[in-house]
Amino acid sequence: MGELAGRAWQGLTTSTPDARWFWHRQLKKPFFGRFMKPWRWPQGVPADGWERLAIPSASQSTLAAVLKRTPVDRPRGVVVCAHPMGLAAKGFWLRNGHADALLQAGFHVLAFDYNGFGDSPCTNFDWPADSLAAGRQARQLFPGLPVHALCASFGAMNTLNALGTADFPFQRIVAEGCASSLPAFWKSYPFAHAVLRLSSAVAPEGERRLRPELAITRLPAHVRLLLVHSKGDDWTPTSHGDRLAAAVPAGAHVERLTLARAEHTHGMRDEREVYWPAVHDFLTAA
């Protein structure tokens, strides 16, 4: 039965490019349908100084991104911002103060939309490829500068899931509200969880490729990681951080920050006095 389902799935997803993306979009809807809408520039955020970029990705999408250069004379590096789920997409970082803080700290900021979110065309489920594409684009734009990643939830999962890839572009990663696995994240949503279980039964390797607690075992010693979780987070409580930390390989450099009350992905908004100094120190430490 599983083999027949797998063959049927393969036929649906490989017949033509348009058909392939159609069925991917249908599978995405139980999880992300309410966020797959036209993107708007964040209200109240000046657009001055932001450049628009189009980044080709191995996910076969062309990612929409925005870039702003720090006014600091001697830039510290580039921070690629990988957004959580939500209509704001890349705008999350602009409207919540992350981008301004990074620019003032001496970092160029590149924020991008994953495929199917914001202005990026919807293709497949290879969101780790989108993280890699954005990081490699930052490295090409600013050769010689260190490239880091600031990620939240969905973006954190897919950036960590890219670990172990050749030519991994990030030197330091801040991962806030990262779930240990997709089933653990969606367990409170019966319909989405049922769709996930069905897709995992048809294509089990697909879910395994998107499981951060497995991906983190590939964390190399030269990549530094800050895991941020909050006791006030109902979606990814600190137990997710415990599972991720337990899977870290020997010799890897991982730090943890536990917030007291911040809601999911909102450390900067709810506990800026704790969140931002820790993130700043992590990104700027020698």
> What domain range includes position 272?
2-284
CA-to-CA distance for 208 and 178, rounded, in angstroms? 16
Tokens of 59: 């996910």
| Cβ-Cβ contacts under 8 Å for 215 (sequence gap 6 or more) | 160, 161, 162, 163, 164
CB atoms within 10 A of CB 95: 15
E strands, the chain, where? 51-56, 62-68, 77-82, 107-112, 147-152, 172-176, 224-230, 253-259
Identify the pLDDT of residue 125.
85
Q: What is the pTM of this model?
A: 0.85
> Residue-wise pLDDT tens for the chain (286 aa)?
334 334 433 444 444 446 666 655 555 555 566 666 789 999 999 999 999 999 999 999 999 999 999 999 999 999 999 999 988 999 999 999 999 999 999 999 999 999 999 999 989 889 999 999 999 999 999 999 999 999 999 999 999 999 999 999 999 999 999 999 866 665 655 444 455 555 555 555 655 566 899 999 999 999 999 999 999 999 999 999 999 999 999 999 999 999 999 999 999 999 999 999 999 999 999 8
Tokens of 37: 């809408």
Q: Is the C-alpha dihedral spanning 140, 217, 182, 236 positive or negative?
A: negative
Identify the pLDDT of residue 37.
76
- The CATH code of the domain that includes 269 is 3.40.50.1820
Q: Helices 2-14 and 190-202, interaxial angle, to 10°? A: 100
SS3 string, 154-210, reads HHHHHHHCCCCCCCCCCCEEEEECCCCCHHHHHCCCHHHHHHHHHHHHHCHHHHHCC
Identify the pLDDT of residue 231.
98
| Cβ-Cβ contacts under 8 Å for 22 (sequence gap 6 or more) | none
The number of folded domains in the chain is: 1
